[in-house]
Amino acid sequence: MAEKVVIIGSGPAGWTAAIYAARANLEPLVFEGAITPENQQKGTLPLGQLALTTEVENYPSWPHMESNALAAVLKSALAPERFANIEHLTTSHTGRRTIFGPELMELMRQQAMNFGTRVITDDVVQVDFKNHPFRLTSLGGKQVEALTVIVATGARANYLGLESEERFKNRGVSACAVCDGALPRFKNQPLVVVGGGDSAMEEATYLTQFASKVYIVHRRDKFRASKIMQQRVLENPKIEVKWNRVVEEVLGDDEHGVTGVRLRSTVDDTTEELKVAGMFLAIGHTPNTAFLEGQLELTETKYIRWTKPFRTWTSVEGVFAAGDVADDYYRQAVTAAGSGCMAALDAERYLAHKGWL
Ligand code: NAP
């Protein structure tokens, strides 16, 4: 029998959609993603991008609290085997702190499961949206039929691909200034932002609130960003642009994390080192939509196209999209969760309209 709602993806959008769908008795089935070396490498393991971050200070309802108290909440809420996955986070920090990404994601997952959500730990690798019920095929070869599908597979930040960058992820290397910029390690320190688009301009400007100085490293001699955002950057006395350069190496050590970057010129062979406490990548995101090619309308940059303002509708009736997979603009956990809720309500209304409830 066809599933009423299948949700693909396990970030804030996916779990919020599951919570709402489960509470509406739609018995949602979530494909949370596969645990594979490829997904590890790409940053697309179950629980999404938030599971790759440390502190999440901007998700409402999680102010700072004693680490012990947080540990008690987690222990009480989660199944023992899931708590075991994150116990090291609760013991390695003392004093007051905010919730960490993996902890928040485990709570969302648990909340969805408490209402009867079923979870398959696998990727959906193929979809047939041309026939109804829709048909989904997983990496492990499982086939599922669905009356509605919510795609919430998110996007992944692009990185430069340096080994040293990988080593210092979460220890000075970040792809989200809004998420990480206010962390103590960056306070009154020089920082570097890589990129020349609107995100780089926005992140650099944002970081000047905390940093002693912000360098922007851009590989060309012109920004791609809109004029107004460029102007804001070029007029900011705290920002210095390093034109025609790329980051060749992230420098640092185990004790301090990032301590600098080595730049290489793109016009000659010169190199130089900058002392910085952090490197923020703003070189674009890649939405996780490869498996949807030819099945759903995507934008030029491969995000799912929402077809009606303030709806999560896509180009295929009965298929909805939530979170970063359809949003290249806000990209926040709370906005993803909000659109997950919208997608579940849209799916429920669609099923009711069709008389399939
Ligand atoms: P983007 O416009 O694609 O810019 C990416 C930047 O990263 C480009 O300058 C690119 O250089 C550089 N880059 C890419 N790969 C690189 C690499 N391997 N090494 C070094 N540099 C690399 O991405 P975005 O800035 O994230 O913006 C995405 C979309 O969101 C855009 O449409 C943007 O307008 C929008 N956005 C809007 C706002 C706003 O209006 N407030 C804020 C953020 C984003 P090249 O220029 O040489 O290609």
Question: Which residue has its alpha carbon closest to ligand 1 atom 23?
Answer: 284
Whether 195 is in the pocket of ligand 1, judged by its Cβ within 6 Å, is yes
What are the tens digits of pLDDT across the range 74-116? Answer: 999 999 999 999 998 888 778 999 999 999 999 999 999 999 9
Who's near 340: CB < 8 A, 6+ residues apart? 12, 13, 14, 15, 16, 17, 18, 20, 150, 152, 322, 323
Average pLDDT over residues 231-244: 98
Question: Which residue has its alpha carbon closest to ligand 1 atom 13?
Answer: 283
The pLDDT of residue 10 is: 98
Question: Which residue has its alpha carbon closest to ligand 1 atom 16?
Answer: 283
Confidence of residue 164 (pLDDT cuts 50, 70, 90): very high
Asked about 341 being catalytic, the answer comes back as no
CA of 169 to the centre of ligand 1 (A): 20
The pLDDT of residue 89 is: 86
Asked about 123 being catalytic, the answer comes back as no
Q: Are 312 and 9 in contact (CB under 8 A)?
A: no
Asked about 253 being catalytic, the answer comes back as no
User: Which residue among 179, 324, 327, 346 is the active-site one?
Assistant: 179
Pocket test for ligand 1, best of 203, 219, 280 (most atoms within 8 A of CB): 219
Peptide bond into 287 cis (omega under 30): no
Domains of the chain are 3-63+98-157+285-354 (3.50.50.60), 163-281 (3.50.50.60)
The pLDDT of residue 88 is: 87
The pLDDT of residue 92 is: 74
What does the block give as tokens for 36?
């594979």
Average pLDDT, the chain: 95
Atom nearest to 328 CA in ligand 1: 30
Q: What is the largest CA-CA distance in the chain?
A: 68
CA of 284 to the centre of ligand 1 (A): 5
